[in-house]
C-alpha cells in the first residue's frame, strides 16, 4: 500500500509499503482522510525518535470487528491495561503504550492503519469526513475544561490562533465562557471574529497579569513565558505546547506569582465526536488545503507554513 514514512532523516512516500497485519484485539482501518498535526512537524525534526508511517489524526472505515464497514475515528494511545497507570484509570499514560504515528506504531498517512478495536469510535452519518478528521485535535481542546475549573465570568485567554487555539476557543465559547484569543496572524484572528469570538493581535494587547486562566496553544517555547505574563497570581496556565527548548525562558514568575502550570495532552474522543454531531464546532474555516496521499510530503511542508491552519491528506 501507499504510505508516507519518516526514516529518521527525511519524509517520503513509500508506494509499496507492506500492508499492516492486525494482532488479536486489533482491527484494520481504511483511511479516508488524515490531518497533519504540529506533533508530526516535530517528529520530522527528530522529536520522539519516531520512524515509520506518520500521522495520527484520521477518519476511516473499519474493515473488520464490530464497527466493520462503518466510519470511525480512533484514540491514538494503545495501552496494556495492566500497568500501574492503566490500573489507576490513566490509560492514556500507560507505561507500555504505543501511540499511532508517534511511538512504536505506524500511523495514518497511509491507505490502511491498525488500532485496537477498543480505541475506535463510530462517526454518525451527519458528520462529514472533513469534520470527523478533527476529532483527535478537538478532544485535546475539550480536555482543557476537564483539567481546570472555569466559571462564568472567568477571564480566560487563549494564546495562539493556530489549529489548536482555534478549537480551544470554540470549545470554551460553546461552554458559555467568553475567551479572548491572542494571536499573530490576521487571517486566523479574522476566522475567530467571524464566529463572534474576541480575537486580538499580540502587538495590540499588553499583558497585565490579570487572567484567571491562560491556555497556551502557541506551539512555541516562548509561549509559556508569554502565558506567565498574562496570568494573574494564583492563576492557571494550561500548557499545550511540548516545549523541549527552554533557552531564555524565565520561570521565576511561577513561584513568585504562585502559578499552576497544568500540562495537557489528549482528551475525550467520544465527547469530540458528540460535539461535532451536535454542530457545535466549525471546522471548515480551519481547512487550509487537502492533498492526495501521493503528495503527503508536500502536505507536511505546507502545514509548517505560518499561514496554514489544518492541512489534510486524502489516501
Q: In b/e form, how buried is each residue of 55-88, taking b as 16+ CB within 10 angstroms?
A: bbbbbbbbeebebeeebbbbbbbbbeeebebbee
Q: Give, for 114, the enclosing helix (H) or strand (E).
A: strand 112-116
Q: For residues 53-112, which are near its own copies according to CB under 8 A?
A: 84-85, 90, 93
Does 21 help bind its own copies (rule: CB under 8 A)?
Answer: no
Q: How far apart are CA 186 and CA 191, in angstroms?
A: 9
Q: Which is nearer to its own copies, 70 or 93 (CB)?
A: 93
Q: For residues 183-222, which are near its own copies according to CB under 8 A?
A: 210
Q: How far apart are CA 54 and CA 100, in angstroms?
A: 8
Phi and psi based region of residue 38 (left: phi greater than 0; alpha: psi -120 to 50; beta: remaining): alpha
- Look at strands 231-239 and 211-216 and give their pairing: parallel
- Which of 201, 258, 278, 305 contacts its own copies by CB under 8 A? 258
Q: For residues 145-174, which are near its own copies according to CB under 8 A?
A: 147
- Which of 23, 82, 87, 260 contacts its own copies by CB under 8 A? 260
Q: Give the 3-state secondary structure of residue 283.
A: coil
**Beta carbons of 289 and 299 less than 8 angstroms apart:** yes
- Which of 87, 187, 251, 270 contacts its own copies by CB under 8 A? 251
**Beta carbons of 162 and 188 less than 8 angstroms apart:** yes
- Which of 2, 70, 232, 295 contacts its own copies by CB under 8 A? 232
Does 45 help bind its own copies (rule: CB under 8 A)?
Answer: no
- Which of 243, 275, 276, 293 contacts its own copies by CB under 8 A? 243
Q: Smallest gap, in angstroms, from Cβ of residue 88 to its own copies?
A: 8
Q: How many CB atoms lie within 10 A of CB 163?
A: 28
Q: Which is nearer to its own copies, 94 or 287 (CB)?
A: 94
Does 249 help bind its own copies (rule: CB under 8 A)?
Answer: yes
Q: Smallest gap, in angstroms, from Cβ of residue 74 to its own copies?
A: 20
Q: Considering CB under 8 A, how many residues would be counted as binding its own copies?
A: 36
**Where on the chain is the footprint of its own copies (CB under 8 A)?**
84-85, 90, 93, 147, 210, 224, 232-234, 239-244, 246-265
Amino acid at each position: 500500500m501507499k504510505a508516507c514514512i519518516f526514516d529518521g532523516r527525511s519524509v517520503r512516500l513509500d508506494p509499496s509499503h507492506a500492508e499492516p497485519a492486525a494482532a488479536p484485539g486489533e482491527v484494520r482501518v481504511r483511511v479516508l482522510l488524515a490531518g497533519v498535526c504540529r506533533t508530526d512537524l516535530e517528529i520530522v525534526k527528530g522529536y520522539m525518535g519516531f520512524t515509520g508511517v506518520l500521522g495520527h489524526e484520521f477518519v476511516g472505515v473499519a474493515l473488520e470487528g464490530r464497527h466493520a464497514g462503518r466510519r470511525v475515528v480512533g484514540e491514538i494511545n494503545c495501552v496494556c491495561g495492566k500497568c500501574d497507570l492503566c490500573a489507576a484509570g490513566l490509560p492514556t499514560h500507560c507505561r507500555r503504550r504505543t501511540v499511532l504515528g508517534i511511538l512504536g506504531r505506524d500511523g495514518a498517512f497511509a491507505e490502511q492503519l491498525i488500532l485496537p478495536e477498543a480505541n475506535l469510535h463510530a462517526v454518525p452519518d451527519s458528520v462529514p469526513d472533513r469534520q470527523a478528521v478533527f476529532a483527535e485535535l478537538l478532544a485535546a481542546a475539550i480536555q482543557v475544561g476537564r483539567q481546570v475549573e472555569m466559571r462564568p465570568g472567568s477571564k480566560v485567554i487563549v494564546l495562539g490562533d493556530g489549529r489548536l487555539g482555534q478549537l480551544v476557543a470554540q470549545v470554551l465559547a460553546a461552554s458559555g465562557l467568553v475567551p479572548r484569543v491572542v494571536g499573530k496572524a490576521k487571517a486566523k484572528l479574522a476566522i475567530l471574529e467571524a464566529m463572534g469570538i474576541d480575537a486580538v493581535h499580540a502587538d495590540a494587547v499588553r499583558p497585565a497579569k490579570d487572567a484567571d486562566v491562560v491556555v497556551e496553544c502557541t506551539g512555541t517555547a516562548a509561549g509559556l513565558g508569554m502565558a506567565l505574563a498574562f496570568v494573574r497570581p494564583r492563576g492557571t496556565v494550561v500548557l499545550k505546547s511540548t516545549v523541549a527548548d527552554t533557552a531564555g525562558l524565565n520561570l521565576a514568575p511561577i513561584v513568585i506569582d504562585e502559578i499552576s502550570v497544568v500540562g495537557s495532552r489528549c482528551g475525550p474522543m467520544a465527547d469530540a465526536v458528540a460535539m461535532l454531531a451536535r454542530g457545535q464546532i466549525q471546522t471548515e474555516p480551519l481547512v487550509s488545503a487537502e492533498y492526495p496521499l501521493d503528495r503527503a510530503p508536500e502536505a507536511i511542508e505546507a502545514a509548517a507554513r505560518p499561514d496554514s491552519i489544518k492541512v489534510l491528506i486524502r489516501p
